[in-house]
């Protein structure tokens, strides 16, 4: 047996290596010793999968007021105006920061090429062809790997936050965390006066998702267990257009395809979006996803089709090279053929409740990116507002931490694995994982009912008991930790959905099809 790893001490520990986490690390590194832990490789999160781009007012004919208005409209009355203005007004600065780092944004005549996406009233999407997230991540990773004061811990999975409650001290604050080091198969203690959760969303709680396998709601679940509020968890954005193909999972067909004239068609070539919304294919994602869901159920279809082939072939190859190449590998030439698509879980609009500095309810703990609820997205996220939210709040959280005195962190107890044994039936984990994702898709998907939510809640309660018994008696593994977090997030989604007695944005209930005249966020408070 290797000797146990002693506690690791840092000024700031960041969970997650996507755009939010790496941006925060870069802002903090000149002044603080930073640890970045990520449960797989640095590039394996959701940020690298983002195709469309970054929404920012960069053209003289555009305005902050217009971007704010578009966001508030998409948010269906639940976006916080102050948070929205904060993000919109800081967006150009964030894009400028990325340009200084060397992100190779697509240009036209020497200026940033701006495209338009659903819900936007102007061209304001800064992009790197159709692979913006991947280009941004590559650039940030290159910088982070050679930046002093940043230590990277790949293949480390968050187990739980450590609070002063664990050592019997008051007042309550976050003192660090436990993480599973997969290489050593050991739980390591990280001590730090400041912790940032930037671990992404929870798309893997659903059977069909555009998210990578890492999106299991780890930060949301850990913060909830530590006593932080969760807000608007019922609003799960289903992207309207995920590639439908038996050999591929999770391949997103960017919003920009519709922004550049792509049309949604039935198998016989009939265009259907104009019958659902006057904005047709440029309607916000929730409307487009429900329209596709309606048409698929009405006609008994496995998918619908997205057609951009009326555009010149050269235009398609230049604007969508990644999509063109991937589809061509599968025998689909998008310059001549429509793309088969289905809706899929895409973005967690709710999350851990934070302020404009990324502070949670627990002192010493910040949350940024998809893990957090900032108030920006409301009941539905406007396209390409997510990457810019990551950067704006990464910078604001870093500023807050740098302006806050660093309290001393007391000694923390090592992880105690003396009372557990090796699991003898790991098949339980895979079976429970599959059951959870299937009933969440069937009962808590694009269209919901009271009965479906009740069924889901009943199954979640059963799974929670089984998973907690497994967790208490066996050594932790990444699969077990992810399942434990997913069932926690599923519970928050269902409870939030049950609390909303109306249909709004991404939450559509057949039992409550009307909108409330006085909409309020749904905030859940953990038991004390």
Q: 18-29: buried (b, 16+ CB within 10 Å) or exposed (e) per residue? A: bbbbbbbbbbbb
> Over 90: is that where the pLDDT of 130 sits?
no
Closest CA to 223 of 523, 485, 487: 485
Sign of the alpha-carbon torsion through 86, 92, 97, 103: positive
pLDDT in tens, 235-251: 999 989 999 998 887 88
Helix, strand, coil tally for the chain in percent (to 5): 40, 20, 45
pLDDT in tens, 272-316: 999 999 999 999 888 898 899 889 889 989 899 999 999 999 999
Residue 37 dihedral angles phi and psi, to the nearest 5°: -110, 140
Query: DSSP character for 483?
Result: H
> Over 70: is that where the pLDDT of 139 sits?
yes
Closest CA to 305 of 267, 345, 256: 267
Share of the chain above pLDDT 70, in %: 99
Closest CA to 174 of 393, 412, 397: 412
Strand order in the sheet with 150-154: 150-154, 34-38, 12-15, 194-197, 365-367
DSSP string, 285-348: HHHHHHHHHHHHHHHT-S-EEEE-TTS-HHHHHHH-HHHHHHHHHTT--TTTSPEEEEEEEEEE
> Over 90: is that where the pLDDT of 17 sits?
yes
| pLDDT at residue number 284 | 80
Structure tokens at 180: 């599973």
Closest CA to 345 of 226, 453, 441, 274: 441
> Over 70: is that where the pLDDT of 1 sits?
no
Sign of the alpha-carbon torsion through 10, 181, 162, 352: positive
Instruction: List the domains of the chain with CATH numbers.
Output: 9-234+349-402 (3.50.50.60), 238-346 (3.90.700.10), 427-520 (1.20.58.100)
Question: Which pLDDT band holds residue 107 (cuts at 50, 70, 90)?
Answer: very high
Query: What is the rounded CA–CA span in Å between residue 31 and residue 180?
Result: 27
∠ Cα 294 297 301 (to 5°): 115
Site of tokens 């967006």: 91
> Over 80: is that where the pLDDT of 3 sits?
no
pLDDT in tens, 468-516: 999 988 899 999 999 999 999 999 999 999 999 999 999 999 999 999 9
Rama region for 201: left / alpha / beta (φ>0; ψ in -120 to 50; rest): beta
Question: Which pLDDT band holds residue 425 (cuts at 50, 70, 90)?
Answer: low
What average pLDDT score do residues 217-240 get?
97
Query: What is the rounded CA–CA span in Å between residue 444 and residue 459?
Result: 12
Query: What is the rounded CA–CA span in Å between residue 258 and residue 240?
Result: 11
pLDDT in tens, 176-188: 999 999 999 999 9
Site of tokens 């000694």: 411
DSSP string, 24-78: HHHHHTTTS-EEEEESS-TT-SSGGG--S-EE---STT--HHHHHHHHHHHTTT-
pLDDT in tens, 29-71: 999 999 999 999 998 888 877 777 999 999 999 999 999 999 9
Q: Which residues contact 44 (CB under 8 A, 6 or more apart)?
A: 17, 38, 212, 214
| pLDDT at residue number 2 | 59
Closest CA to 280 of 266, 293, 268, 263: 263
Closest CA to 36 of 153, 188, 181: 153
- By residue count, the chain amounts to 528
CB atoms inside a 10 Å sphere around CB 391: 28
Structure tokens at 109: 């005549």
Sign of the alpha-carbon torsion through 9, 10, 15, 18: negative
Question: Which pLDDT band holds residue 4 (cuts at 50, 70, 90)?
Answer: confident
Query: What is the rounded CA–CA span in Å between residue 189 and residue 250?
Result: 34
Structure tokens at 526: 């953990």
Query: What is the rounded CA–CA span in Å between residue 390 and residue 371?
Result: 10
Cβ atoms of residues 247 and 347 within 8 Å: no
DSSP-based three-state secondary structure for 448: strand
Q: What is the mean pLDDT of the chain?
A: 94
Cβ atoms of residues 195 and 319 within 8 Å: no
What average pLDDT score do residues 217-233 get?
98
pLDDT in tens, 357-398: 999 999 999 999 999 999 999 999 998 999 999 999 999 999
Question: Which pLDDT band holds residue 24 (cuts at 50, 70, 90)?
Answer: very high
Query: What is the rounded CA–CA span in Å between residue 377 and residue 380?
Result: 6
Cβ atoms of residues 170 and 164 within 8 Å: yes
Active site residues: 285
Query: What is the rounded CA–CA span in Å between residue 240 and residue 235?
Result: 15
DSSP string, 215-246: -S-HHHHHHHHTT--EE-TT-EEEEEEEE-BT
């Amino acid at each position: 047996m290797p000797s146990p790893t002693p506690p690791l001490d840092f000024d700031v520990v960041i969970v997650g290596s996507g755009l939010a986490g790496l941006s925060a690390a870069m802002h903090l590194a000149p002044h603080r010793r930073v640890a970045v832990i990520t449960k797989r490789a640095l590039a394996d999160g959701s940020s690298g999968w983002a195709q469309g781009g970054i929404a920012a007012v960069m053209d003289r004919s555009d305005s902050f007021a217009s971007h704010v208005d578009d966001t508030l409209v998409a948010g269906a009355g639940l976006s916080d105006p102050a948070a929205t203005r904060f993000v919109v007004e800081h967006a150009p600065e964030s894009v400028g920061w990325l340009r200084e780092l060397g992100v190779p944004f697509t240009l036209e005549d020497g200026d940033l090429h701006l495209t338009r996406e659903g819900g936007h009233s102007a061209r304001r999407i800064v992009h790197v062809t159709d692979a913006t997230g991947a280009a941004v991540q590559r650039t940030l990773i290159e910088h982070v790997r050679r930046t002093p004061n940043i230590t990277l811990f790949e293949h480390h999975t968050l187990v739980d936050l450590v609070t002063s409650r664990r050592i019997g001290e008051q007042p309550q604050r976050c003192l660090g965390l436990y993480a599973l080091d997969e290489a050593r198969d050991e739980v390591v203690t990280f001590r730090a006066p400041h912790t940032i959760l930037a671990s992404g969303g929870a798309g893997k709680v659903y059977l069909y998702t555009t998210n990578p396998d890492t999106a299991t709601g780890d930060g949301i679940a850990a913060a909830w267990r530590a006593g932080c509020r969760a807000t608007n968890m019922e609003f799960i954005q289903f992207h309207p257009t995920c590639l439908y193909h038996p050999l591929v999972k999770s391949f997103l067909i960017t919003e920009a395809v519709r922004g550049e004239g792509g049309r949604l068609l039935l198998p016989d070539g009939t265009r259907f979006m104009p019958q659902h919304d006057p904005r047709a294919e440029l309607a916000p994602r929730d409307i487009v996803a429900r329209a596709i869901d309606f048409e698929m159920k009405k006609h008994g279809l496995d998918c619908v089709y997205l057609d951009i082939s009326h555009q010149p072939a050269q235009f398609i190859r230049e604007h969508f090279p990644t999509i063109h190449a991937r589809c061509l590998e599968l025998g689909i030439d998008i310059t001549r053929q429509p793309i088969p698509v289905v809706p899929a879980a895409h973005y967690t609009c709710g999350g851990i409740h934070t302020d404009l500095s990324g502070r949670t309810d627990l002192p010493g703990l910040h949350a940024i990116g998809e893990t957090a609820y900032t108030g920006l997205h409301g009941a539905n996220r406007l396209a390409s507002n997510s990457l810019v939210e990551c950067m704006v709040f990464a910078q604001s959280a870093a500023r807050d931490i740098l302006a806050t005195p660093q309290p001393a962190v007391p000694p923390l107890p090592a992880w105690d694995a003396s009372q557990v044994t090796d699991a003898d039936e790991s098949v339980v984990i895979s079976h429970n994982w599959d059951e959870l994702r299937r009933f969440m898709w069937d009962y808590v998907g694009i269209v919901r009912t009271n009965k479906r939510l009740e069924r889901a809640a009943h199954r979640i309660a059963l799974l929670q008991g089984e998973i907690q018994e497994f967790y208490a008696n066996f050594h932790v593994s990444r699969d077990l930790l992810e399942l434990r977090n997913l069932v926690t997030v599923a519970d928050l989604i269902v409870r939030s959905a049950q609390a909303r007695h109306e249909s709004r944005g991404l939450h559509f209930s057949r039992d409550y099809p009307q909108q409330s005249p006085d909409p309020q966020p749904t905030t859940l408070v953990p038991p004390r």
